[in-house]
Chains A and B, each alone.
Chain A
C-alpha cells in the first residue's frame, strides 16, 4: 500500500450472473486518502452500493464475479483469506447500512450486539466489551447510554437506531467508515443530525469516510470529493464544490438540474383558485392501539380550489398520509366534515399512491388496472373501455400498445405513470397524491412532476400533494400546509411559508434540508451546532 491511502481501487468490475448477466460496476478506479471523505453519487442501478460491498468482500459466496484490484486499509481484498477478510471487516473498515431497523438483530440488546462485534476483533472480557459499547453509544449521542444499551432495536426511534449502528461502526476504531445511504430512511431533521454526527466523528477520530448516496445534497453536506457514477462507470470526479458548481459532464449537469432545491426560482405562476372543490372542517382521526388511543389527525381544516395545488408537508408520523386517505374517502374521519364542491360524495376524487410497485397488482395487465375504476363506475362496453385506456396511456406518455403488458415489464417511473393514468380514468376533479415521487430517482422524479403539472393545466385538475420532501412540494404547490403531530401548524402560499415562516417547527424543517452548496452547508452546520448548544 502506498502510504496515505485507505482505499485504492483499480479497474474494479462486479458482475452478477443470471439469465442476463448484469455488469453492476465496470472498470472503476478511485482512491481515498487517510482521513479523507469521498461520496459515490448516483441513481439506482449506478453500481454505487455494489462498489461499497466489494470493498469489504461482501460479494464472496453470492456468485457475483469481482475483478480488479481492491486495497482497503492495507488489505488486498481480492486475495485475502476468509480470516483476513473477517479481521478487516468492522475493525479496519466498518459499514453503516441504509435501513437501521432491519440492520440490527431484533432479538438482542443493542449493547450486546456492539459488544459481540468488539469481542470478534479484540481479546477483551464480556464486561469490558459491554463498557466499551456504552462508551460508543454515549459518543454518538444516545442519552442515558447505560440504560439504553439494554434496549432492543424496536424500542429505539429511527434516528436512534442509526446512531446505534454508527456506534457499532466506531467500536473498534476503524480507519474507514463506509456509509451506504445512511440517511435515506430518515426524516429530514433526523438526517441533518446524523450527517452532523458523521461530520464531527470524522474530524475528531480522523476516520476516512466513503459515503454512498443518491442524494446530491447529502453529499454536498458531508464530503470533500464526489465521484458521480452511472451504469457502473465513473462519470466525473473532483472536489465537491467544483463538481456541484461547475459540472464538466452532461450527465452530472442533468442530475443536478433534476434535484429539486429550495433556492430555485419558482416556476409556477400562482393561479387564482376557483370555487372550492374540497372543503374539510375540523377533521379528526383516532386509532386504537390496545388500550391507548392515538390521535393521528387532529382538528384539520383546509380548502382546495379548482385548478389549485395544495402541498402538505410533514415528517413521518405527522399524520399526512392519514389525512390524505381521509380526503379520498379511504378512511372514515372520527369527526369533522368533508365536502366536495357542494356534495359529500367522493366520486370526483382519486388517489396516486407512493409505491408504484406495491400499488399495482402484479397479476393484472396495466391496461386492466387502469380500466378497473371505470368498471367500478359501471362501464361495461369493452370497446369503450379499451379506447379510454389507450387514450389515458397516451396522455401520461406511455405507448398505448402496451395495454396488455404486466407491471414488472415497466420501470419505476413508468409504473407511477400507470398509477396516474388509473387515477385519471374516471375524470376526477381532484387527485390526492401521497408521496408520488419519493420512490423514484431524481431524474425520473422531475419527469413525473412535470407530467403532473401538465395534466393539471390541461385538465383543470385540483391536486393535493402530500410529501416529506420540502423542495419537491415547493416546486409543485400553490399553497402549503405544514403538518406536525397531527395538526396543521402553518398554512399559506409558497412564498409565505418558505420565504418567511413564522412557526419554529417550519423553520427547523427548512434549516434541515441539505443544500447543494458545500460552503453554505458548513455555515448552516455551524448554525445548527449553536442551536443545539444554546
Chain B
C-alpha cells in the first residue's frame, strides 16, 4: 500500500514535470518575441530590451527552465527594474499583465471553481447513476424509453443552452432565484448555494447523461453474467438483483470516468463559469490565452494537470476498495 502510494506519487511528479517541459517549450520558446509580449505593444525598443534583461531571456533555454522549476520548489527572485521581487515557493511566475504572482492568482480563483465542480460532481453522480439504475430496473417499459431519450438529449445539448434556459426561467420569468453572482462560502453559505444552484444543475444535467449511459450498460452486462443467474435461481427478487448485484458491477467504470471528469473540470468549465458569472480558473485561463499572458497559462494548465493526476490516483485506490481482486502494484 505504502509502496503503491510512493510509486504513484513519483509517477505524478514525473507526469507534471513532463507537462511543464512541454508547456515551457510551446509557450516560451515558439512564439515571437516574449519580451515584446510581456512589455506590451506600446513599449519602446529600449524598454523591450530592459524587459528582456529582467526576464533573463538571454540565458540558455535549460537555465531558464531550471529557474522556472526552482521557482516551483524553492521560490525565486525577480528584478522589477526598481527593486527585487521575491516570489515564494511554489512560484509559478509573475503575470505579464497584472504583475501579480500566478500562484496567488490561482489560489484566488480555486475556491470558485472548486465550489462549482464539487457541487456539480455530487449532483451529476447522483443523477447519472440514479437514472442508469432506474432505466435498468424498468427495462423494456415506457420509463426506460423516456429516460433513454432524455439521456440522449442531455448528451446532445450544449451547457449554455440549458444554462440560459434555466436563468431565463428561474431568474427572469419566475424570479425565484437571484441572477447568479459568486458569493464566497465563508461570507454567506446560504447565498453561496443559492447562487451556484443553477450552475450546478446545468453542468450536472449534461454530465449525468454520460454517467447514466455508462451505468446502464455496465449493469446490463453484469445482469447477463452467470452469478446473477445463480441468485435469480435462488429466488432473489429482481429489485435486489439490480440494486445489489448489478449495481456493484457498475461501480468500477463509474469511478474511472469520474476521475477523468473531476480533474479536467478544474480547467474546463469555462462556458459554465462565464455564463453564471463565476470568476473561476477556466475563465481566467481564457482571458490569459487571449492576451498571451504566458506565465498564467502555464501555471493554470499545470494546476489542472495536477488535479487530473490526483483524481486518477484516488480512483485507483477506490478501485482496490471496490473490487478486492484488484492488487495495488
**Hey, which bits of chain A sit against chain B, CB under 8 A?**
56, 58, 85-91, 94-95, 97, 99, 102-108, 113, 116-117, 120-121, 152, 154, 165, 168, 290
Contact = CB atoms under 8 A, between A and B. Distances in A.
Contacts of A120: 234-237, 240
A168 B248 contact: no
Contacts of B322: 107
A104 B234 CA distance: 12
A117 B323 contact: no
B64 to A, nearest CB: 43
For B232, B245, B329, the residue with the greatest tally of chain A CB atoms inside 10 Å of its CB is B232
Contacts, number: 78
A229 to B, nearest CB: 21
Interface stretch (B184-192, B223-231, B259-267, B305-313): B223-231
Contacts of B235: 85-91, 117, 120-121
Chain B interface size band reads: 20 to 34
A56 B236 contact: no
Interface string B91-109: 0000000000000000000
For B231, B240, B244, the residue with the greatest tally of chain A CB atoms inside 10 Å of its CB is B231
Nearest to B251: A107
A374 to B, nearest CB: 41
A102 B225 contact: yes
Contact of A107 (B229, B231, B323, B327): B323
Interface string B213-249: 0000000000001111111111111001000110011
14 contacts: A58-B229, A86-B235, A90-B235, A91-B235, A94-B234, A102-B225, A105-B227, A106-B227, A106-B325, A107-B248, A107-B249, A108-B248, A117-B236, A121-B235
Contacts of A95: 230, 233-234
A89 B237 CA distance: 11
B324 interface: yes
A103 B229 CA distance: 8
Given A290-B327, A290-B329, A89 B233 contact: yes
Given A85-B235, A89-B235, A152-B325, 6 more contacts: A86-B235, A94-B233, A103-B229, A106-B227, A113-B231, A120-B240
Nearest to B329: A290
A87 B235 CA distance: 6
Given A152-B324, A152-B325, A90 B233 contact: yes
Contacts of A88: 235
Nearest to A154: B325
Contacts of A108: 248
Contacts of B327: 290
A31 B325 CA distance: 43
Contacts of A103: 226-227, 229-230
A103 to B, nearest CB: 5
Contacts of A290: 327, 329
Given A99-B226, A102-B226, A104-B227, A58 B233 contact: yes
A91 B236 CA distance: 11
Contacts of A102: 225-227
Given A97-B226, A152-B325, A105 B245 contact: yes
Contact of B230 (A91, A104, A107, A121): A104
Contacts of B233: 56, 58, 89-90, 94-95, 97
Given A105-B245, A106-B323, A89 B234 contact: yes
A108 B245 CA distance: 9
B44 to A, nearest CB: 65
A104 B230 CA distance: 7
Contacts of B225: 102
Nearest to A92: B235
Nearest to A165: B230
A56 B227 CA distance: 16
A289 to B, nearest CB: 10
For B225, B234, B322, B323, the residue with the greatest tally of chain A CB atoms inside 10 Å of its CB is B234
Contacts of B231: 105, 113, 116-117
Contacts of B228: 105
A290 B3 CA distance: 13
B321 to A, nearest CB: 11
Contacts of B244: 116
Interface in B74-106: none
B324 A105 contact: no
Nearest to A102: B226
Nearest to B226: A102
B285 to A, nearest CB: 41
Contacts of A58: 229, 232-233
B13 to A, nearest CB: 24
Nearest to B225: A102
A165 B229 CA distance: 13
B297 to A, nearest CB: 42
A56 B236 CA distance: 13
A87 B225 CA distance: 22
Contacts of B237: 86, 120
B284 to A, nearest CB: 43
A411 B228 CA distance: 30
A121 B327 CA distance: 36
A64 B329 CA distance: 46
